[in-house]
Amino acid sequence: MHFAYIKVIIRIVMHPRNLIALTCLICLVHLTAQAQQLPIFTQYREYQSFINPAAVSSDYFTYEYNLSFGASYRRQWLDFNDSPRNLFVRGEYVGKTQGKAHLIAGGYFLRDDTHPISFNGAYGRVGVFDSFCHD
């Protein structure tokens, strides 16, 4: 019974059109894979205003905190010596005013070690937002 299945599989694989596809697949498998080593930001709340500079901290809208700090550290592939490491520290201040427009200011520090590419970055932002839906 199993021989019948094997014969069918061999007949399918040995068809000229399928043989070309199988040869291409085998050649692709033997190529060396190359990829970027850039930091990939996950959707954690620490990255919210870094990914979207127009975003206002959820701490302000949820708890009415006008000062917010946060930090995130991630190390991948722990068993390797030169494993990727990311550090992100943020701070944000929302200045409440008498009107509906509020001043927002913040800063970020980013440390990214991905070996062989590593960098540090310090970023700041200043803006005004209209709180027409939040009193």
Q: What are the domain boundaries of the chain? A: 1-34, 45-130
pTM above 0.75? Answer: no
> Which segments within 2-134 are labelled E, that is strand?
67-75, 85-95, 101-113, 118-130
User: Six-digit token pair at 123?
Assistant: 């970023």
What would the pLDDT profile of 52-83 be if each residue is shown by its tens digit?
888 888 788 788 888 988 888 888 888 888 88
88 close to 72: Cβ distance less than 8 angstroms: yes
H or E segment to which residue 62 belongs: helix 58-63
Rg (CA), the chain: 26
Closest-CA residue to 106 (of 32, 35, 63, 54): 54
